[in-house]
């Protein structure tokens, strides 16, 4: 299938509908996994153990933002991708693309941040590469990280494991990373003291596994937010998922910013939040563990039924009046250069 656009748009990297089209029309036909289902990390079978492998690139603007910076973001982002398979992070690669003229003091701050974040996650940076591009071609720093983790459980944490009747949980309030970036871009004229939710998730996932929970699917809610993640999972699982709009936890500053600027809070980026899908009978236990880490963790919906052959809409949102509407997965880019 040929791509539906003649040129690459910013929205192709935004986690919304155009991102999905780019993957489905160009990348999946070339590199599709055997089962055709994408996950945050790939599982590799090696003698004696199962490994998880992931890679990600980070192009956030500004490089330092309330609650974090591109260095911590690069480490936590890859660690969190591994965590969504239940893997324990072991090793990390680091690729730096630097722009000519970048202040060496700023680069030193980023490197120290990477080191501190890696130590906090118990992961070693074992290999890397550095390239420099001409002034005006790199916007300061771009970072690529790849990570390897060890899978030490027998669960199949994967979209294909999602079943009707499952509970849908989020690990905390949503949209703070996107809002923090928005605030840091002073040209938008929006002010608040909100910090990014940037945080590693692997320890929380390990607690869920240690509790013996039957985790069906995990997904970290990065670019595209809850909307993109839940849509991808519903389509991969072939199920309808119903969200309760009023149950979605939002800080007042996030809600206000989205209302003021016409943004969808369900599509706002996060960097320390995940979606947890598990049997409804285990939801209370999972919630208790999640709320130990973040009291705002909430049950936001349920997997209702398998799709019939004539059904198309796979995620619906119930508002406070009880009215159901299809989830609106935007085609454009809410906020570019977010992660």
Set out the domains of the chain in order of their start, with CATH numbers: 33-151 (3.30.1330.10), 159-326 (3.90.650.10)
Q: Using one digit for the tens of pLDDT, what is the confidence trace for 116-161?
A: 999 999 999 999 999 999 999 888 999 999 999 999 999 999 999 9
User: Which of 89-103, 181-195, 261-275 shows the lowest per-residue confidence on average (mean pLDDT)?
Assistant: 181-195
Which residues, including other chains, have CB under 8 Å from residue 152's CB and lie 6 or more apart? 49, 88
Report the pLDDT averaged over residues 256-261. 89
Give residue 16's pLDDT band: very low, low, confident or very high (50, 70, 90). Answer: low
DSSP state of 186: G
Are the C-beta atoms of 92 and 146 separated by less than 8 Å?
Answer: yes
From 20-34, 76-90, 99-113, 160-174, the region with the lowest mean pLDDT? 20-34
Average pLDDT over the chain reads 89
Dist CA 72 CA 79 (whole Å): 11
Burial of 318 (0-12, 13-18, 19+ CB in 10 A): middle
SS3 content of the chain, % helix, strand, coil (to 5): 35, 25, 40
* Whole-prediction pTM: 0.89
Condensed to tens digits (0 to 9), the pLDDT of residues 58-71 reads 999 999 999 999 99
């Amino acid at each position: 299938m040929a791509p539906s656009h003649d040129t690459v748009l910013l929205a192709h990297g935004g986690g919304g509908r155009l991102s999905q089209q780019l993957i489905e029309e160009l990348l999946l036909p070339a590199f599709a996994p055997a089962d055709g289902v994408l996950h945050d990390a790939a599982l590799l079978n090696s003698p004696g153990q199962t490994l998880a492998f992931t890679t990600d690139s980070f192009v956030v603007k500004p490089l330092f933002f309330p609650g974090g910076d591109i260095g911590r973001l690069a480490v936590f982002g890859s660690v969190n991708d591994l965590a969504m398979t239940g893997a324990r992070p072991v090793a990390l690669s680091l690729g730096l693309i630097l722009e000519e003229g970048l202040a060496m003091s700023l680069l030193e701050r980023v490197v120290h941040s990477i080191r501190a974040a890696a130590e906090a996650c118990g992961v070693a940076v074992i290999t890397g590469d550095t390239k420099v591009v001409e002034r005006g071609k790199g916007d300061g720093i771009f970072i690529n990280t790849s990570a390897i983790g060890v899978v030490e459980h027998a669960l199949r944490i994967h979209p294909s494991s999602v079943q009707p009747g499952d509970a849908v949980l989020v690990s905390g309030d949503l949209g703070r990373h996107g809002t923090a970036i928005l605030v840091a871009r002073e040209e938008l004229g929006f002010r608040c003291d909100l910090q990014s939710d940037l945080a590693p998730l692997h320890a929380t996932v390990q607690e869920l596994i240690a509790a013996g929970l039957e985790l069906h699917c995990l997904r970290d809610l990065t670019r595209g937010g809850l909307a993109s993640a839940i849509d991808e999972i519903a389509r991969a699982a072939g199920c309808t998922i119903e969200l309760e709009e009023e149950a979605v936890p939002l800080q007042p500053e996030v809600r206000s910013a989205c209302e003021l600027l016409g943004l969808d809070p369900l599509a706002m980026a996060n960097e320390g939040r995940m979606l947890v899908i598990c049997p409804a009978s285990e939801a209370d236990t999972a919630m208790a563990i999640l709320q130990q880490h973040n009291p705002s963790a909430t049950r936001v919906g349920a997997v209702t039924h398998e799709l019939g052959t004539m059904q198309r809409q796979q995620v619906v949102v119930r508002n406070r009046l009880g009215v159901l509407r299809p989830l609106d997965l935007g085609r454009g880019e809410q906020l570019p250069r977010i992660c």
